[in-house]
């Protein structure tokens, strides 16, 4: 009970994004006068045009005309029947109702703020594929990506007047609860990838409470405490539109704004909206840094405009990656990642006495990924790449992490060629069984996916315990439906990062039933 209470208290920290006008409400109808977007949202929209990479795009697009309207009384461009039909054709498990409030928000997006909307459409090419990939991995409806439109206007630097930050507008307390690093140098609420994982986990926790995506969207805005009060005051009814007037005023506009954003992002062409190409490099590579690094060191040596580095790494507040504290990610255009690796010694030593105190520098190598060391206590095998193979399949056949396989073979991406010999490290007790894989047909190997390699017999595998202990690690056997996040929650004081680190995994590596993971034992 204490955990449940703490959970509800903590989740209430999430920020709000909309307020309505103070005009009288109609008690006899669900639809009242338009509640205009809150100052936070309008500020985020306007701030888009102040971003460096947006200004770069606008300065090159002289045909772009920024439209402003003096009147708030904007008429819809289409009859209601057209909106209703179009919303019905959007592939979505989230219910998308239409009413006057939704229509008014559509008018805000497609008419009054169309210039900002065109910038957001351009930014969606950069952010939506990343959000979709993470939501798909976490088992969430990918259409929830449109929440980021009304949360932050797709601005990772967005800051609300209440102090909510980033693409998903996390308050400090909620961000910490969901594992985001927040200090003087790093604010992972601004990290599009890390914050999206945190938002996915938060949304899943809310869905486990309500089992209704519309209520989840409302609770994300005002916190589950306010939604629960509205449900209780409505006699236990768990329907957004039936508890509508019991919700905080700002939340009444949030769900209609989400529906309108979903509509606009799918039918913008029918309103004459044209995405502004925003020049953030779409092809990018993420590298882990475990030494202190200043953006200026990278910029001056590789001749990358420092603003490009800032735009691709908005989570670093002072142009410093504090890698001495723990490994942090550096995102660069893919064309520069190889150069960084080749010139890393020069980059880290460049003006280091100016940027950092040399007496406090670590001597540890910054790119152990490219200086592979064989794992202790493992047997070394070779696998010859055959037609139809890819690194993902090979990792699954040998029950190893994809990042480990890349690390052992100095492979930066996923490119392999037929006939290439790959090094694989496996437990010595299972080396004989794993050695057979190299001679198997593709179909035989595919049938192994999801099955653990037997130790002595199939019976031994089936009766093996889910957990076992060895030294400073507890070994956990992955079950169907598990994720790293779910597994971490089963072990006190163990984070996702701990599990990923000791198993040489990245957040993009998949785990499968039967796979054994090391769980560090805290002392």
Taking only the tens place, the pLDDT of each residue in 491-503 is 877 877 778 777 7
Q: What is the largest CA-CA distance in the chain?
A: 78
Task: Name the token pair of 497.
Answer: 């990062």
Query: Chain-wide mean pLDDT for the chain?
Result: 77
Lowest mean pLDDT among 10-14, 321-325, 429-433: 10-14
Q: Do domains 39-63+75-271 and 372-463 have the same CATH topology?
A: no
436 versus 443: the higher-pLDDT residue is 436
pLDDT of 29 strictly over 70: no
What confidence score (pLDDT) does residue 69 get? 37
- d(CA 322, CA 50) in angstroms, rounded, equals 28
Q: So what's the architecture of 39-63+75-271 in CATH?
A: Orthogonal Bundle (1.10)
**Average pLDDT rounded to a whole number, residues 439-446:** 83
Cβ–Cβ < 8 Å for 248, 224 = no
CA dihedral 441, 412, 167, 324 (to 10 degrees): 130
Those residues with Cβ within 8 angstroms of residue 492's Cβ, 6 or more apart along the chain or in another chain = 522
- d(CA 40, CA 127) in angstroms, rounded, equals 20
**Average pLDDT rounded to a whole number, residues 178-192:** 93
Q: Give me the residue spans of the domains in the chain.
A: 39-63+75-271, 286-363, 372-463, 465-523
Per-position b or e across 56-79, b if 16+ CB within 10 A of its CB: bbbeeeeeeeeeeeeeeeeeeeee
Angstrom CA distances, 100 to 25, 257, 430, 461, stand at 14, 11, 65, 60
- d(CA 48, CA 157) in angstroms, rounded, equals 10
- Reduced to 3 states, what is the DSSP secondary structure of residue 200? helix
- d(CA 206, CA 188) in angstroms, rounded, equals 21
pLDDT of 454 strictly over 80: no
pLDDT confidence of 230, banded at 50, 70, 90?
very high
CATH topology of domain 372-463: Membrane-bound Lytic Murein Transglycosylase D; Chain A (3.10.350)
Cβ atoms within 10 Å of 370's Cβ, excluding its own: 14
Taking only the tens place, the pLDDT of each residue in 328-375 is 999 998 888 888 988 888 898 888 888 886 544 443 333 333 356 677
Those residues with Cβ within 8 angstroms of residue 268's Cβ, 6 or more apart along the chain or in another chain = 110, 117, 121, 275
pLDDT of 47 strictly over 70: no
Q: Is 341 exposed, middle or buried (0-12, 13-18, 19+ CB in 10 A)?
A: middle
Taking only the tens place, the pLDDT of each residue in 99-110 is 988 998 999 889
Those residues with Cβ within 8 angstroms of residue 325's Cβ, 6 or more apart along the chain or in another chain = none
pLDDT confidence of 233, banded at 50, 70, 90?
very high
Lowest mean pLDDT among 107-116, 325-334, 458-467: 458-467
**What dotted CATH number matches 465-523?**
3.10.350
């Amino acid at each position: 009970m204490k955990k449940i209470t703490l959970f509800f208290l903590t989740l209430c920290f999430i920020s709000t994004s909309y307020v309505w006008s103070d005009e009288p409400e109609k008690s006899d109808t669900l639809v009242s006068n338009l509640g205009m977007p809150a100052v936070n949202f309008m500020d985020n929209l306007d701030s888009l045009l102040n971003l460096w990479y947006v200004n770069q795009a606008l300065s090159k697009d002289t045909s772009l005309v920024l439209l402003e309207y003096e009147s708030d009384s904007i008429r819809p461009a289409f009859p209601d029947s057209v909106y209703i039909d179009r919303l019905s054709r959007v592939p979505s498990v989230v219910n998308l109702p239409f009413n006057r409030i939704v229509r008014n928000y559509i008018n805000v997006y497609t008419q009054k703020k169309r210039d900002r909307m065109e910038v957001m459409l351009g930014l969606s090419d950069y952010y939506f594929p990343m959000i979709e990939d993470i939501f798909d991995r976490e088992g969430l409806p990918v259409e929830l990506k449109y929440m980021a439109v009304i949360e932050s206007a797709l601005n990772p630097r967005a800051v609300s007047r209440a102090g909510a930050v980033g693409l998903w507008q996390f308050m400090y307390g909620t961000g910490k609860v969901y594992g985001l690093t927040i200090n003087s140098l790093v604010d992972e609420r601004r990290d599009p990838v890390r914050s999206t994982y945190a938002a996915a986990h938060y949304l899943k926790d809310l869905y486990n409470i309500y089992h209704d995506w519309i209520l989840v969207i409302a609770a994300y805005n005002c916190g589950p405490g306010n939604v629960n009060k509205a449900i209780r005051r409505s006699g236990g009814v768990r329907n957004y539109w039936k508890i509508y007037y019991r919700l905080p005023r700002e939340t009444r506009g949030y769900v209609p704004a989400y529906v309108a954003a979903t509509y606009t992002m799918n039918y913008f062409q029918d309103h004459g909206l044209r995405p502004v190409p925003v020049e953030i490099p779409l092809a990018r590579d993420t590298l882990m840094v475990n030494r202190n690094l200043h953006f200026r060191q990278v910029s001056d040596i590789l001749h990358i405009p420092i603003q490009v580095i800032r735009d691709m790494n908005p989570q670093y507040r002072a142009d410093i990656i504090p890698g001495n504290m723990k490994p942090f990610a550096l995102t660069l255009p893919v064309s520069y990642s190889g150069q960084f690796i080749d010139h890393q010694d020069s980059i880290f030593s460049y003006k280091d006495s100016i940027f950092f105190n040399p007496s406090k520098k670590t001597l540890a190598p910054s790119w152990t990924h490219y200086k592979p060391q064989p794992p202790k206590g493992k047997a070394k095998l070779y696998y010859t790449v055959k037609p139809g193979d890819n690194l993902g399949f090979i990792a699954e056949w040998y029950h190893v992490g994809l990042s480990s396989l890349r690390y052992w073979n100095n492979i930066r991406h996923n490119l392999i060629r037929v006939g290439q010999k790959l090094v694989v490290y496996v437990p010595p007790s299972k080396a004989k069984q794993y050695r057979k894989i190299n001679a198997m047909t593709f179909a035989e190997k595919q049938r192994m996916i999801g099955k653990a390699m037997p130790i002595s017999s199939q019976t031994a595998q089936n009766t093996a315990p889910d957990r076992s202990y060895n030294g400073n690690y507890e070994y956990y056997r992955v079950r169907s439906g598990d994720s790293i996040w779910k597994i971490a929650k089963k072990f006190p004081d163990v984070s996702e990062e701990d599990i990923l680190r000791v198993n040489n995994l990245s957040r993009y590596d998949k785990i499968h039933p039967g796979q054994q993971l090391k769980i560090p034992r805290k002392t």
